[in-house]
Structure 1
Amino acid sequence: MVNNPDFFTGKGQDLAPDIQELQTPEGELHLRFYLPSQSEFALPATGIREVMQQAPDRITAIPNASPLLLGTINLRGQIIWVADLGQFLGEEAILNTDRSEIPVIAVEAQETILGLAVDRLGEMEWLDLEHLQLSNNVSDQIAPYVQGEWIINEESRQILRLLDHVEILRSARWVA
């Protein structure tokens, strides 16, 4: 490429007229994901340490631990707890652990890391916080962990709720 004389002279720039100009994304980057009830949530990318697919037999169950916790995993030499996020948020639907891999989102705040097991991962997406609305129909159980919601489709009433990973990590429910 450097030996190509057109590289330095600017010739050939009109070879790809269909390429669109890159647009600057608006908002902040978030990971979208689903719980077993098919409710859709998002977490800010800034609070995510790692996203992985974990084999269920690699999650070590710990006796007498909270029923919200599936067990522990080794994340690059560090032992971290893995929680069933749906159960933590009070969902009735149970996470299916009888499969080859479970999506786990490792969130971090102030050097505390927790793995959140979810049903399935969605896309990384730039979401504008200016369009975030107060959540109307959330139970008292999840209200402390929901920062707001975006209305994705008004006709189908599809909403995307933004979770606060710091509040999840600090919850007193983990010691119950």
Structure 2
Amino acid sequence: MVGNPDFLTSKGQDQQPELQELETPEGELYLRFFVASGDEFALPATGIRRIIEQPPDSITPIPNASPLLLGTLNEQGRVIWVADLGQFLGYQTLLNTDRTEIPVIAVEDQGIMLGLAVNQVVGTYWLTIEEIQPSRNIPDTMAPFLKGEWVVDSDQKRVLRLLDHIAILRSARWAT
């Protein structure tokens, strides 16, 4: 049955099966997303533990915690601190929590997990690290957390900024 060309292609027996070429992606896999300000960022897929879509009321606010933190959520029995990534990076635009679900990107390093709440997850893309350029025209509050940027659209001057999830996790900003 498996050797039958009809099984492979749904064509008649008198036609040869079509072979599809698999493309080998170049570069590394990254998750692309937007923060509340409308700027686009990327994180290496290797540093992402999971992507969680949660209703805002499932994030429990914690009194006397850093103002960057939205609260905690329980994901499969594990408590994850959730932060507004845009606010952490220094943007004044706060994440809109008046919606049905908030995308949270859970990053992890050496057993430490943090949820980064973002405005919209675009998806995963293969990007080549050779095309990355040094970040330009960025605020000092963001600089320690960037590895560089890709030019997405040179006409509109749109860039995709690559974040360093380990620098975000280990930041002293969480203590304030």
TM over 0.5: yes
- 1:1-176 equivalent positions in 2, closer than 5 A: 1-2=1-2, 4=4, 14-16=16-18, 19=20, 21-176=21-176
Tell me the percent identity.
60
Output the CA distance in 2 between the equivalents of 1:146 and 1:3. Answer: 51
Question: Cα 1:2–1:92, aligned 2, differ >3 Å: closer, same or farther?
Answer: same
Question: Cα 1:117–1:6, aligned 2, differ >3 Å: closer, same or farther?
Answer: closer
Question: Cα 1:94–1:4, aligned 2, differ >3 Å: closer, same or farther?
Answer: same
Question: Cα 1:23–1:92, aligned 2, differ >3 Å: closer, same or farther?
Answer: same
Output the CA distance in 1 between the equivalents of 2:59 and 2:128. Answer: 35
Residue identity matched to 1:105 = I
Mark the runs of 5 or more structure 1 residues left unpaired by the alignment: none
Residue identity matched to 1:24 = T
SS at match of 2:151: strand
Output the CA distance in 2 between the equivalents of 1:52 and 1:14. Answer: 45
Output the CA distance in 2 between the equivalents of 1:31 and 1:90. Answer: 21
Please give the per-residue CA displacement for 1:11-37, whole angstroms capped at 9, x wherever unaligned: 8783437x4x21111110000000111
SS at match of 1:14: coil
SS at match of 1:161: strand
Output the CA distance in 1 between the equivalents of 2:114 and 2:93. Answer: 21
Output the CA distance in 2 between the equivalents of 1:76 and 1:99. Answer: 23
Shift of 1:65: 0.5
Output the CA distance in 2 between the equivalents of 1:87 and 1:14. Answer: 58
Contact 1:6 1:12 (8 Å CA) reproduced: no
Contact 1:42 1:160 (8 Å CA) reproduced: yes
Output the CA distance in 2 between the equivalents of 1:12 and 1:168. Answer: 60
Shift of 1:6: 7.1
Contact 1:37 1:91 (8 Å CA) reproduced: yes
Question: Cα 1:13–1:132, aligned 2, differ >3 Å: closer, same or farther?
Answer: farther
Output the CA distance in 2 between the equivalents of 1:106 and 1:13. Answer: 49
**TM-score of the superposed pair, with normalisation by structure 1:** 0.92
Shift of 1:57: 0.6
SS at match of 2:16: helix
Shift of 1:167: 0.1
Number of residue pairs matched?
A: 172
**TM-score of the superposed pair, with normalisation by structure 2:** 0.92
Residue identity matched to 2:43 = L
